[in-house]
Amino acid sequence: MSSSDPDSRMLLLLRHGKAEGMGEQDIDRDLTERGRQQARLIGDYLRAQGVRPSRVLVSPAARTRQTFEALASAMPELDARVDIVDGLYEGGAHETVQALRELPDEDRVVLVVGHEPAMSMLGHLLADEDSDSGALAQARIGISTGSMCVLTGPLGSWDELDEDSLTLHTIVRS
């Protein structure tokens, strides 16, 4: 995001990349090579768009942490503060909203790396009437691994985040 508007926010909701099967504890499941590739592609997309998050909220699950690491490898200029947020693993959309509302105002571009169904539910919940109808339809049914909802809006601070407060522009698939 290149705008210098202090009342503008961008929220990126990324579902982790493709993960290994259910052979171990769910929280410990690793990304597959395809999952790492998906994350790098999202990093390439963000770099090409000139979008650099200043804050990243990541679930404590291995697959979400690995997704962020692979994404970051495609964005060498990324210098974001990374917070592991326990509530992103077992919580839902409302827990994620609570974590976002606590962010400082200077974090204008935020990336959340989490799980389904919370990522698509949150994208749909926050989407206003100006949102892209195709992206809204996709958010209603869920997003695939390695997909990211892109939302923006005129929030003075993150504590103003509420239902219908951002515009869902697209869902980027890797």
Task: Judge: domain 9-173, CATH 3.30.70.20.
Answer: no
Residue 129 token pair: 């009437």
Number of other CB atoms surrounding residue 133 within 10 Å: 8
This prediction has a pTM of 0.95
Domain boundaries along the sequence of the chain: 9-173
List residues bridging with 15 in a β-sheet: 114
Confidence of residue 41 (pLDDT cuts 50, 70, 90): very high
- Which residue in this structure is represented by tokens 């990336």? 111
> What whole-number distance in Å separates Cα of residue 23 and Cα of residue 56?
28
DSSP state of 82: E
Vertex 157 angle, CA 163 and 99, to 5°: 65
Q: What is the pLDDT of residues 80-118, one digit of tens each?
A: 999 999 999 988 898 999 999 999 999 999 999 999 999
> What whole-number distance in Å separates Cα of residue 173 and Cα of residue 70?
16
Q: Is pLDDT of 22 > 90?
A: no
> What whole-number distance in Å separates Cα of residue 98 and Cα of residue 45?
28
Average pLDDT, the chain: 94
